[in-house]
């Protein structure tokens, strides 16, 4: 199964760039990720259709991922192949976890609920331990998570009260207040709802 990285950009330093040049490439990649990881509400109709057909919900996938150890920071549905759900390829949920101060990603099959191998996110771990803040990054989400009274699954429940099926969810602060952005597909349309992290009920 091919996993789509939660960090949408991958930087590869060129030979001869040196340490400073390599660091600059990594920093540019991270800044691009922070600005563009979850942009807008547009999703291809084919991906919305395959999400609707998925036997495993995002919330169930998060529970399966967290059962392997860790707290979910974000989760995102993806197709492995365009309209693969019509060919018994249901797609997967990519789930970012933090455990013991380390960030990793697992993929959960949207048809069977099987959890794939854990992949360490080396760059994000380096950022988190170095104290540098990149807004919207997994490291930034890991810093916000401990102070939140609402967990990711509860935020999904709140967003789905209006109906629909969650496609992705991530920790996001608004006006300095931590919470969750939840992207929900319903009747072929997609909406994004922000849920406060200290919200009760």
Q: Is 1 within the bounds of a domain?
A: no
Residue 175 · residue 122 · CB < 8 Å: no
- Residue 128 belongs to what H/E stretch? helix 122-130
Q: What is the DSSP letter of 175?
A: T
Q: 80-100: per-residue pLDDT in tens?
A: 877 777 788 889 999 999 999
Average pLDDT, the chain: 78
pLDDT value of residue 131: 57
Which pLDDT score, from 0 to 100, does residue 34 have? 33
Angle at 118 between CA 7 and CA 135, to 5 degrees: 30
Q: 31 lies in a domain?
A: no
Q: Does 136 map to a domain?
A: yes
Q: Could you please report the per-residue DSSP string of 5-70? A: PSS-----PPTT-HHHHHHHHHHHHHHHHHHHTT--S---HHHHHHHHH-SS-HHHHHHHHHTTSS
pLDDT at 147 over 60: yes
In a domain? residue 85: yes
Distances (CA, A) of 117 to 3, 31, 178: 11, 27, 29
- With a CB cutoff of 8 Å and minimum separation 6, the contacts of 192 are 41, 181, 182, 183, 184
Q: Which domain holds residue 174?
A: 41-196
Residue 163 inside a domain? The answer is: yes
List pLDDT tens digits, range 152-195.
999 999 999 999 999 999 999 999 899 999 999 998 889 999 99
- Non-local (6+) Cβ contacts of 87 within 8 A are 81
Residue 21 in domain: no
Number of domains in the chain: 1
């Amino acid at each position: 199964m091919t996993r789509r990285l939660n960090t949408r950009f991958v930087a590869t330093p060129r030979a001869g760039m040196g340490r400073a040049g390599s660091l600059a490439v990594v920093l540019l990649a991270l800044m691009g990720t922070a600005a563009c990881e979850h942009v807008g509400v547009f999703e291809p109709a084919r991906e919305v259709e395959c999400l609707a057909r998925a036997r495993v919900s995002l919330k169930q996938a998060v529970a399966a991922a967290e059962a392997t150890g860790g707290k979910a920071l974000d989760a995102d549905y993806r197709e492995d192949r365009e309209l693969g759900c019509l060919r018994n390829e249901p797609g997967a949920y990519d789930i970012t976890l933090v455990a013991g101060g380390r960030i990793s990603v697992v993929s959960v099959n949207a048809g069977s609920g099987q959890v794939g191998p854990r992949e360490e996110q080396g760059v994000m771990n380096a950022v988190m331990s170095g104290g540098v803040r990149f807004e919207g990054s997994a490291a930034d989400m890991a810093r916000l998570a401990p102070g939140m009274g609402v967990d990711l699954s509860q935020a999904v429940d709140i967003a789905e009260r209006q109906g629909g099926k969650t496609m992705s969810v991530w920790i996001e602060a608004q006006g300095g207040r931590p919470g969750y952005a939840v992207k929900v597909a319903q009747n072929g349309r997609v909406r994004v709802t922000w849920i406060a992290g200290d919200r009760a009920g």
